[in-house]
A and B are shown apart, each in its own frame.
Chain A
Amino acid sequence: MSTVSATTGRRTGRRPQWLTPLLLGLPALAVVLLSQGYPLVRQLVMSFQEFGLRQQFGQPPEFVGLRNYAAVFSDSVFWVVLARSIVFCAVCAALTMLLGVAFAVMMTRLVPAVRVVLQSAMLLAWAIPVLSSLTVWQWLFNTRNGLVNWVLVRSGLDQFDRYAWLLQGTTLLVIAGVIVIWMSVPLVVFMVYASLTQLDPEVLEAAELDGASGWQRFRYVTVPGVAPVLMLVGLLQIIWDIRVFTQISVLQDAGGVAEESNLLGTYVYQIGLGQGNYGMGSAVAMVMLVITLALTAGYVRSLVRQGATA
């Protein structure tokens, strides 16, 4: 054994220790720098520049300091969009976690056959591409002969006859939220269920013998036992739901109202690529990036902590 480490020691001793890993990491570094690092720097620069239509036709962009940010922060539309994004994110993430944890706990108490049925349904909903599910949800909520309106009218709610869900910001966001929750719950179910099955059943039984009620056992034994996973999954939901784009964008394109339903992502798209105001769009995008990174810090910290305890 000692000879082996001696030879490896000599081998690596010939060249600097950091050279081999650097060379190995170079291709990945190049790809990430090219596709994300460089655009990130460019966008940061652009957010301090006057960069609108005139600049696209050859005028050199002019540095304007914080003017773009000042314009963004003094625009009431931005604050409305930001508030809407936060509310949308909070509602979707909370409901996703609530349903996901409830279903995962339920899954631990199912007979095998029923469990397989529930797992298969969740797996299918998780696997389906977002655009496929978006088209069918649009069809379900179709104004003229969608199933949802038909069922609502049949149940006596006549006001839903030919109800146009996408023509109001709130109802468009409700549909988007339903879709987001529907497709996010399966991952929560699977991750929480996996960690629930790792719990030591003897601890739960001991609590039961000590007289703890079902709710107390859940609250004081189960929840702390799976807390790291709950934190992680919950944070991921928040990070994903604050940046939701596809659902909103597709529903808007399918004849929905844009102004009343914009969230941060579609707002950046509209200002930057729609209206060609790259400077201001970049400023909003930077705000969005900072929010995401702040949330990510929590994600990374809990991952590192998990890694340390595992």
Chain B
Amino acid sequence: MSAPAAAAPVAPVGRLSATAPGRVVRSRSQRVRRVVLQVVAVLVAVLWVFPIYWMVNSSLQSSADLSGDPHFWPSPAELGNYSRILSDATFWSALRVSATVTVIAVAVALFSAFFAAVALTRFRFRGRTSMVITVLVIQMIPAEALFISQYRMLDSWGLINSVLGLGLLYAGHSVPITIWMLKGFVDGVPADLEEAAMIDGCSRPGAFLRITLPLLAPGLVASGIFALLASWNEYTLALVVMKDNSSATLPLWLARFNVANEATDWGAIMAGSTLVALPVVVVFLIVQGRMAKGLVAGAVKG
């Protein structure tokens, strides 16, 4: 039943019609297979999105509804769980901590990585290749392999429970990947443009600031958001550094809220999870195309 048997006798014609947009004429079994494949794909999609659906669905149900047999549709939908979370002071405190840490991390990472990316792309110097490889290797060091001494270091500096301490660690983890992404974007701007501006009388830094920097704005935004998402979602280092509940970041808050309320308030836990996820998912969906491009650009133009 395989295709070659039918295609072989009319080889040249088959080849032409196959490359045409209209595609080849299919046999009945092929059509059936094709339909089955579409159905399987939809099932996979449902399976993959189901936990997210279940989170939102549960967040809109009362505790009474959640304690019995499962309801696959929230009827009637109620927002009580959300108002409970939004009137919880610990949620707002965690939101503030997360926002502050993220701003520190993104600002430091973006600023320092930007100049490093320029150094790597616009200058040829000895050890440049080993610099690039070092950046790649540092990027892969897992938080789990260093957190004992990072904890000790921050402890001896009085930076446990401090947004500054955690922000520094997050910035350190984001710098390599940010350099890597920005390098791809700077590579994408031809240096000829700067040289042309220099012929017109610009200094080298002037040419860079006036010509290249504006062209890099999308790259800066994309890599900034990448660092933002990484800091916003991070759990391990937050667990190590932020010991007090009053200094918890959102992921920590969610984990502790869950442990404290398990078996009593799943509706509120799901509402909290949804609230933590919502802004991240929205930002992610807006930038994912550009982010993937940046990663690929950085990865391919080694």
User: How many Å from the CB of A280 to the closest CB on chain B?
Assistant: 10
Q: Which of B76-84, B215-223, B230-238 contacts A (4 or more CB under 8 A)?
A: B230-238
**Is there an interface contact between A131 and B254, defined as CB atoms closer than 8 Å?**
yes
Q: Which of A74-82, A89-97, A209-217 contacts B (4 or more CB under 8 A)?
A: A209-217
Q: A131-B255, A132-B55 are in contact. Are A11 and B236 (CB under 8 A)?
A: no
Q: Beta-carbon contacts of A125-149 to B below 8 Å, as 1s and 0s?
A: 1111111111111111010110100
**Is there an interface contact between B52 and A125, defined as CB atoms closer than 8 Å?**
yes
Q: A34-B168, A214-B2, A306-B302 are in contact. Are A28 and B115 (CB under 8 A)?
A: yes
Is A66 part of the contact surface with B, judged by Cβ < 8 Å? no
User: How many Å from the CB of A215 to the closest CB on chain B?
Assistant: 10
User: How many Å from the CB of B157 to the closest CB on chain A?
Assistant: 10
**Is there an interface contact between A253 and B153, defined as CB atoms closer than 8 Å?**
no
Q: Which residue of A lies closest to B131 (CB)?
A: A25
**Is there an interface contact between A139 and B58, defined as CB atoms closer than 8 Å?**
yes
Is B116 part of the contact surface with A, judged by Cβ < 8 Å? yes
**Is there an interface contact between B149 and A43, defined as CB atoms closer than 8 Å?**
yes
Q: Beta-carbon contacts of A98-118 to B below 8 Å, as 1s and 0s?
A: 000001001101110011011
- Residues from chain B with a CB closer than 8 A to the CB of A185 are 48
From the candidates A194, A245, A278, name the one contacting B148 in the complex (CB within 8 A): A278
- Residues from chain B with a CB closer than 8 A to the CB of A138 are 258, 262
- Residues from chain B with a CB closer than 8 A to the CB of A243 are 142, 144-145
- Residues from chain A with a CB closer than 8 A to the CB of B4 are 208-209, 211-213
User: How many Å from the CB of A274 to the closest CB on chain B?
Assistant: 11
Please report which residues of chain B, range 149-185, place their CB below 8 angstroms from some CB of chain A when the two chains form the complex: 149-153, 168-169, 171-173, 175-176, 179
- Residues from chain A with a CB closer than 8 A to the CB of B46 are 121
**Is there an interface contact between A28 and B112, defined as CB atoms closer than 8 Å?**
yes
Q: Beta-carbon contacts of A242-274 to B below 8 Å, as 1s and 0s?
A: 010110011001110000000011001100110
Is A163 part of the contact surface with B, judged by Cβ < 8 Å? no
Q: A21-B123, A28-B115, A139-B58 are in contact. Are A205 and B18 (CB under 8 A)?
A: yes
From the candidates B11, B120, B125, B169, name the one contacting A17 in the complex (CB within 8 A): B125
- Residues from chain B with a CB closer than 8 A to the CB of A25 are 115-116, 119-120, 131
User: How many Å from the CB of A208 to the closest CB on chain B?
Assistant: 6
**Is there an interface contact between B254 and A135, defined as CB atoms closer than 8 Å?**
yes
Give A124 to B291 CA distance when docked, in angstroms: 15
Q: Which residue of A lies closest to B235 (CB)?
A: A246
From the candidates A32, A117, A281, name the one contacting B45 in the complex (CB within 8 A): A117
Give A308 to B301 CA distance when docked, in angstroms: 8
**Is there an interface contact between B38 and A36, defined as CB atoms closer than 8 Å?**
no
**Is there an interface contact between B15 and A209, defined as CB atoms closer than 8 Å?**
yes
Give A144 to B27 CA distance when docked, in angstroms: 51
Please report which residues of chain B, range 268-285, place their CB below 8 angstroms from some CB of chain A when the two chains form the complex: 269-270, 272-274, 276-277, 280-281, 284-285
Main secondary structure of the interface of A (DSSP, over half): helix
**Is there an interface contact between B37 and A201, defined as CB atoms closer than 8 Å?**
no
Is A292 part of the contact surface with B, judged by Cβ < 8 Å? yes
- Residues from chain A with a CB closer than 8 A to the CB of B14 are 209
Is B292 part of the contact surface with A, judged by Cβ < 8 Å? yes
Is B140 part of the contact surface with A, judged by Cβ < 8 Å? yes
Q: Which residue of A lies closest to B255 (CB)?
A: A250
Give A7 to B199 CA distance when docked, in angstroms: 10
Is A8 part of the contact surface with B, judged by Cβ < 8 Å? yes
Q: Beta-carbon contacts of B243-282 to A below 8 Å, as 1s and 0s?
A: 0000000110011001100110010011011101100110
- Residues from chain A with a CB closer than 8 A to the CB of B70 are 145, 147, 150
Give A44 to B34 CA distance when docked, in angstroms: 57
Q: Beta-carbon contacts of A288-310 to B below 8 Å, as 1s and 0s?
A: 11001101100110011011101
- Residues from chain A with a CB closer than 8 A to the CB of B296 are 194
Q: A147-B54, A245-B144 are in contact. Are A36 and B138 (CB under 8 A)?
A: yes
- Residues from chain A with a CB closer than 8 A to the CB of B276 are 129, 131-132
- Residues from chain A with a CB closer than 8 A to the CB of B266 are 139, 142
Is A224 part of the contact surface with B, judged by Cβ < 8 Å? no
Give A205 to B15 CA distance when docked, in angstroms: 7
Give A289 to B140 CA distance when docked, in angstroms: 10
Q: Which residue of A lies closest to B277 (CB)?
A: A132
**Is there an interface contact between B115 and A27, defined as CB atoms closer than 8 Å?**
yes
Q: Beta-carbon contacts of B115-135 to A below 8 Å, as 1s and 0s?
A: 110111001011010010100
From the candidates B169, B235, B251, B280, name the one contacting A35 in the complex (CB within 8 A): B169
12 A-B contacts, Cβ less than 8 Å apart?
A: A11-B204, A27-B111, A34-B168, A46-B149, A115-B41, A117-B42, A126-B284, A129-B232, A129-B233, A145-B68, A147-B54, A268-B144
Q: Besides the contacts A35-B172, A139-B270, A205-B19, what 20 more A-B pairs have beta carbons closer than 8 Å?
A: A4-B199, A17-B125, A24-B119, A35-B150, A39-B149, A114-B41, A121-B44, A125-B52, A129-B232, A131-B235, A136-B51, A209-B11, A249-B235, A249-B239, A250-B235, A254-B258, A254-B262, A265-B144, A300-B137, A308-B302
